[in-house]
Amino acid sequence: MSNTAELSVDGKTYQFPIVEGSEQEKAIDISNLRDQTGYVTLDKGYKNTGATQSAITFLDGEQGILRYRGYSIEDLAAKANFLGVAYLLIYGELPNQQQYQEFEKSIQSHSQVKEGMQTILNGFPQDTHPMIELSSLVNALSAFYPDSYNEKAGDTEEHVARLLAQLPTIAAWSYKKAKGQATVQPNNNLDYCSNFLSMMFGQAGEEYKVDPVVAEALNTLLILHADHEQNCSTSTVRLVGSSQANLYASISAGINALWGPLHGGANQEVIEMLEDIKADGGDVAKYVDMAKNAKQTGFRLFGFGHRVYKNFDPRAKIIKKAADDVLSKLGVNDPVLEIAKGLEEAALNDDYFVSRKLYPNVDFYSGIIYRALGIPTNMFTVLFAIGRLPGWIAQWKEMRATKEPIGRPRQIYVGSTLRDFKALADR
């Protein structure tokens, strides 16, 4: 097979190298396209654009494959723990026992969030959406650790450990503030997931017994969300970081990107949609029809479809099974689970969804588990952010380590051509 691609334009033929990844994915390297031809590419939504070469996550949307650093998501979800997966993503290998202990210790040693951060949080109105507080407080961390502005002066590893340590604390603080309850201090005797649950659901000054079923379910969900290559929020983190903005500022931007309902915000939308269907008598066919007429109704089935998965989302498969397991272990009977299953079945048997390759995605069943764990709906996307944090960090570090240039797409200008300025009085 040829290792160059030819492009003929304006009567001339140009050659561009073909780049092949370790899983035989192929790309045409057009880095010199404009220099050679004067043309740029136009690819709205970057549907065909490989923005980087990355060694972190492999995803095959046709076959429904997802791997972190070569390990299958099925294996990791069944056998690993979230901190081990975070280490794997960030440092490239699964930690041995000593590396794991040191990693956990360094995270625990950064678990205390500065008091000034609480003051900032308290300045937000009571009913502020927690994603606003999360992104704002993560951004604010740069103010408390100003060495983060200057990569050379600062210790990146310290910022990495601090972010992993403090994001769950900030999330739990935001929840406590909304409930009007006192915050619960981090407990370094607990593992990562149990500590988060204790800060969320414990009461200050009282011992909180973490249900191992809940901690295990959370562990699985966080692993499933830990990375997903160049999605909207990860591309945001890399793009912001490419200007050499600091880690906190870059992650804060990623949190904002994640919040959108077409991305991580979909998990909240799914539960709200399922509740609406339930309140409306549970007629799933009506909602499938509305989604089929999305152009007229403006209604989409949240939790369905994916830019890359055109067969099935392997995370959704694991989550659907986990939802059944967790609800039965916890003795929770959530009627929206049945509505979700009915909706899935109706959609998967409908030509509109089949022909467009629209399948349930990671967000379709995750909310049902979060709800069974006692997480309020407006915190679902916050949980996604806690899960995605190691992926964002790994991608940010990779982008810096490989010295990627500042991200700066081109455009095709379609506005007015040159016109004469008219004074205000003449307009």
Interaction site with ligand CMC (CB under 6 A) = 45, 228, 231, 262-264, 266, 291, 294, 300-307, 356, 358, 361-363
**155 labelled catalytic:** no
Q: How far is the CB of 333 from ligand CMC (least distance, A)?
A: 25
Q: How far is the CB of 264 from ligand CMC (least distance, A)?
A: 5
Are 369 and 323 in contact by the 8 Å Cβ rule? The answer is yes
User: How far apart (Å, rounded) are the C-alpha atoms in residues 152 and 149?
Assistant: 9
DSSP strand pairing (26-28 vs 57-60): unpaired
Rg for the chain, CA atoms, rounded: 23
Picking from 103, 97, 98, the residue whose alpha carbon sits closest to that of residue 390 is 103
User: How far apart (Å, rounded) are the C-alpha atoms in residues 380 and 234?
Assistant: 18
Q: Count of alpha carbons within 13 Å of 317, Cβ hemisphere only?
A: 12
Q: Count of alpha carbons within 13 Å of 125, Cβ hemisphere only?
A: 3
Residue nearest to ligand CMC (CB): 305
Provide the token pair at 202.
């414990």
Q: How far is the CB of 358 from ligand CMC (least distance, A)?
A: 5
User: How far apart (Å, rounded) are the C-alpha atoms in residues 232 and 381?
Assistant: 14
Edge to edge, what strands does the sheet with 26-28 contain? 4-9, 12-20, 26-28
* CA 21 vs CA 49, 59, 392: distances in Å: 14, 12, 21
Q: How far is the CB of 360 from ligand CMC (least distance, A)?
A: 9
Q: Pick between residue 154 and residue 342 the one whose CB is nearest to ligand CMC.
A: 342
Residue among 159, 228, 306, 313 flagged as catalytic? 306
Question: Going along 135-276, which residue ranges are E strands?
Answer: none
**Amino acid symbol at 157:** E
**363 labelled catalytic:** yes
Q: How far is the CB of 260 from ligand CMC (least distance, A)?
A: 8
Q: Which residues are known to be catalytic?
A: 306, 363
